[in-house]
């Protein structure tokens, strides 16, 4: 790979910095604490700040890509993002001495089902949008096909070779299979059918809704098979792997006891949610959503369920139906007391503080602190993740995420 000496040195210096950060004792301690919490033997609540869309403002302030060759920016960005995490986000996310190259995958997006899944967007970047339903009748279902998923090992191997050539003597470079498995079937469904229409279908056209959910279930089951047959899965119980809507995935309960080196779904975490059916009661949720998610979740070793939707009246159903359930999301709109009673010490209580506390034009730090303190009092008998996410903006004050992480970790330590 012909790159300039300057670009090579930039990447090598970054790799050395990541290796230095990864060698700090605090990294292994963070990994140990995550594992204890996920194994239901918590030593304290674990804190994870996931800036999500807020990364754009963090990057603008703290991340400058210096390589002249734009084809190297994916490597540079990956390395610099870890230095930013260490220097500006003092949460419990550990930095590892490893550079992973994810599989190059084509056709896995949710757009290619044979029908155009259209939306009308506002002019504002990241703003609201209106769904233009693609399925209007049973006849439209005949046009649907499974996604044409293809794993490009050749392209991935080329990226691995490039990274190893530049800094493989500093950081181990590893090709890694897919680690993120999320089954929010109703998100795809509403882009096919429309949110309002989906709700009406439960009464007016249940057979159509069942056919669509069965199609999506089978499409995602096929996806699992494709990756497994191609050797495209990777363990996601590593200390710095985000496994779903919650925190990080270290656990001694994965991989499965009969693991021999080839990764299977049952060696991994998966996540599932259905934010679109927040207003649907348990019986209809079970009939139209959960029964179609179960065959997917049952393929995996452990399950993380929920995202932003409050699960207050569905917790008993989830506990009874999902035998490998380990994490459950407790959203800002959930009944925290009820969740603590229902989850107890048997499941990880994944609390999502209200991001508006730090995303509003004027951050409310007093309310943010009281929110975490009161939650840890309520969930004192539970293993707890405190996960700040959905920070779509930090009002161009990226140090807000720094302050929140410092605050949350301090409270978690004081609550022990």
pLDDT single digits (tens) 153-208: 999 999 999 999 999 999 999 999 999 999 999 999 999 999 999 999 999 999 99
pLDDT score of 375 more than 80: yes
Q: Give the DSSP letter of residue 173.
A: E
pLDDT at 1: 56
Residues 363-370 have a mean pLDDT of 97
- Burial state string for 38-49 with b = 16 or more CB within 10 A and e = fewer than 16: bebebebbbbbb
Please work out, in degrees rounded to the nearest 5, the angle formed at the alpha carbon of residue 272 by the alpha carbons of 325 and 208.
125
The architecture of the domain spanning 5-414 is: Alpha-Beta Barrel (3.20)
pLDDT at 377: 98
pLDDT band at 130, cuts 50/70/90? confident
Give Cα 233 distance to the centre of its chain: 16
pLDDT at 161: 96
4-26 confidence digits (pLDDT tens): 999 999 999 999 999 999 999 99
Q: Give the DSSP letter of residue 248.
A: B
Name the H helices within 322-398: 336-343, 356-359, 365-378
pLDDT score of 88 more than 60: yes
Residues 28-46 have a mean pLDDT of 98
pLDDT score of 231 more than 60: yes
Q: In the chain, what are the domain boundaries?
A: 5-414
pLDDT at 160: 97
Helix (H) or strand (E) holding 208, with range, is helix 206-229
271-320 confidence digits (pLDDT tens): 999 999 999 999 999 999 999 999 999 999 999 999 999 999 999 999 99
Q: Name the more confident of 340 and 126.
A: 340
pLDDT band at 120, cuts 50/70/90? confident
Residues 338-359 have a mean pLDDT of 97
pLDDT band at 114, cuts 50/70/90? confident
* Biggest distance spanned by C-alpha atoms of the chain: 66
pLDDT at 127: 77
pLDDT score of 119 more than 80: no
30 to 93, 191, 239, 240: CA distances (angstroms): 7, 39, 8, 10
Among 114-123, 224-233, 336-345, the range scoring the smallest mean pLDDT is 114-123
């Amino acid at each position: 790979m012909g790159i300039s000496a300057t670009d090579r040195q930039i990447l090598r210096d970054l790799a050395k910095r990541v290796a230095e950060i990864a060698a700090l004792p605090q990294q292994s301690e963070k990994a140990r604490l995550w594992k204890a919490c996920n194994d239901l033997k918590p030593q304290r609540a674990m804190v994870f700040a996931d800036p999500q869309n807020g990364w754009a403002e963090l990057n603008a302030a703290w991340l400058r890509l210096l390589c002249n060759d734009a084809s190297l920016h994916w490597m540079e960005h990956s390395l610099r993002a870890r230095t930013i995490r260490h220097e500006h986000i003092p949460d419990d996310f550990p930095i590892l001495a490893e550079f992973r190259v994810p599989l190059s995958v084509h056709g896995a997006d949710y757009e290619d089902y044979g029908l155009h899944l259209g939306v009308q967007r506002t002019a504002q970047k990241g703003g609201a949008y209106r769904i233009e339903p693609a399925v209007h009748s049973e006849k439209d279902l005949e046009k649907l096909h499974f996604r044409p998923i293809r794993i490009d090992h050749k392209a991935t191997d080329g990226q691995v070779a490039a990274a190893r050539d530049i800094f493989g003597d500093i950081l181990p470079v590893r090709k890694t299979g897919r680690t993120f498995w999320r089954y929010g079937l109703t998100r795809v469904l509403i882009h096919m059918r429309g949110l309002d229409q989906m709700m009406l279908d439960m009464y007016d056209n249940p057979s159509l809704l069942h056919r669509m959910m069965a199609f999506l279930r089978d499409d995602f089951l096929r996806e699992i098979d494709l990756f497994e047959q191609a050797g495209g899965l990777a363990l996601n119980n590593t200390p710095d792997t985000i496994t779903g809507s919650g925190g990080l995935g270290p656990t001694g309960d994965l991989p499965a006891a009969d693991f021999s080196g080839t990764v299977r779904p049952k060696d991994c975490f998966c996540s599932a949610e259905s934010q679109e059916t927040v207003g649907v009661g348990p019986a209809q949720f079970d009939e139209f959503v959960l029964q179609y998610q179960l065959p997917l979740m049952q393929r995996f070793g452990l399950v993380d369920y929920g995202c932003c939707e409050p699960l207050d009246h569905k917790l008993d159903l989830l506990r009874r139906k999902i035998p490998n359930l380990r994490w459950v999301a407790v959203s800002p709109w959930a009944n925290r007391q009820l969740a603590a009673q229902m989850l107890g010490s048997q499941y990880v209580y994944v609390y999502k503080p209200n991001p508006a506390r730090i995303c509003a034009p004027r951050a409310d730090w007093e309310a943010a602190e009281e929110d975490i303190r009161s939650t840890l009092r309520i969930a004192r008998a539970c293993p707890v993740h405190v996960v700040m996410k959905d920070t779509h903006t930090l009002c161009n004050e990226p140090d807000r995420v720094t302050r929140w992480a410092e605050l949350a970790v301090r409270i978690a330590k004081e609550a022990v």
